[in-house]
């Protein structure tokens, strides 16, 4: 069974850092592109970042560029999102999602989400 | 304000049909595939339509997708109360080199 499970969320002060992890199982993780998507309280989905299967191609939303870093460890079947200089507007549930085909936004599997709250 | 524009809400009676539009531009919808997602309250989104008009295994044929130019449409027939949810379109923007979602449409089955 395909599963992606996020962890690492929590309460952090403005300007602080947090690293999210996404553990994948049930599929050949190293063959799939992965993304992070977030959803603020009562808000819609917002795309955050993507990484290709071997980590050589990465893209970010303008709102997080220079502050967030996506990475992956294919040996550990794990996706990461390092979040620095956090702001109140980064408060959201963060989902990791697998795409069914490389350069697409066909998110066929999603995690349950990890809540990040940025507040003093 | 999303780059992809969806109506905030739509409604229809059980058994009826509804369509949800998603308007974009020449750098996103016109040249890239569109996908659609259903999000029930308190749950992660679920893929309904991919590559403009394909349904993943397990998605009933009551759900359909189409694309024309810079717009895409999700259709739902035979509405059921269980279809009440938020629906999102998504695609890649080749100019921004970024993923995009519409603002979401809340479906109410009256």
Pick from A36, A47, A32, A55: nearest CA to A103: A32
**Structure tokens that stand for A79 in this block:** 């996706």
Which residues in chain A touch residue B92, judged by CB atoms under 8 angstroms apart? 103-105
Q: Cβ separation of B88 and A113 shorter than 8 Å? A: no
Selected for mutation to probe chain A from B20, B44, B52, B97 (highest A CB count within 10 Å) is B44
Q: What secondary structure does DSSP assign to A48-93, as a single string?
A: EEEE-TTS--EEE-TTTTTTEEEEEETTTTEEEEEE-S--GGG-EE
User: Per-residue pLDDT tens for A90-103?
Assistant: 999 999 999 988 77
User: Per-residue pLDDT tens for B73-88?
Assistant: 999 999 999 999 999 9
Q: In what order do the strands lie in the sheet with B63-68?
A: B18-23, B71-76, B63-68
Which residues in chain B touch residue A100, judged by CB atoms under 8 angstroms apart? 50
Query: In this structure, are strands B63-68 and B18-23 parallel, antiparallel, or unpaired?
Result: unpaired
Residue of A nearest to B97 (CA): A59
User: Per-residue pLDDT tens for A26-40?
Assistant: 999 999 999 999 999
Instruction: Give the C-alpha separation, B95 to B90, whole Å.
Output: 15
B3 band by pLDDT with thresholds 50, 70 and 90: confident
- Lowest mean per-residue pLDDT among A11-20, B1-10, B30-39: B1-10
Size of interface A-B (CB pairs under 8 A): 69
Q: What percent of chain B has pLDDT over 70?
A: 98
């Amino acid at each position: 069974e395909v599963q992606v499970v996020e962890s690492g969320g929590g309460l952090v002060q403005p300007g602080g850092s947090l690293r999210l992890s996404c553990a994948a199982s049930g599929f050949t993780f190293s063959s799939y592109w992965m993304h992070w998507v977030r959803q603020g309280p009562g808000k819609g989905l917002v795309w955050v970042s993507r990484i290709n299967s071997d980590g050589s191609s990465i893209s970010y939303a303008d709102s997080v560029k220079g502050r967030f870093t996506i990475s992956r460890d294919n040996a550990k079947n794990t996706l990461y999102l390092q979040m620095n200089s956090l702001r109140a507007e980064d408060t959201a549930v963060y989902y990791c999602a697998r795409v069914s085909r490389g350069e697409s936004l066909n998110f066929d599997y999603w995690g349950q989400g990890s809540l990040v709250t940025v507040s003093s | 304000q999303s780059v992809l524009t969806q109506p905030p809400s739509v409604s229809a009676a059980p058994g009826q049909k509804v369509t949800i539009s998603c308007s974009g531009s020449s750098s996103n919808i016109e040249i890239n595939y569109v996908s659609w997602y259903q999000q029930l309250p308190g749950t992660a989104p679920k893929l309904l339509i991919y590559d403009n008009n394909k349904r993943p295994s397990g998605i009933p044929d009551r759900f359909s997708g189409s694309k024309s130019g810079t717009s895409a449409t999700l259709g739902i027939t035979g509405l059921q109360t269980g279809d009440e949810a938020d629906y999102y379109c998504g695609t890649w923007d080749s100019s921004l080199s970024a993923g995009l979602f519409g603002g979401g449409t809340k479906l109410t089955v009256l």
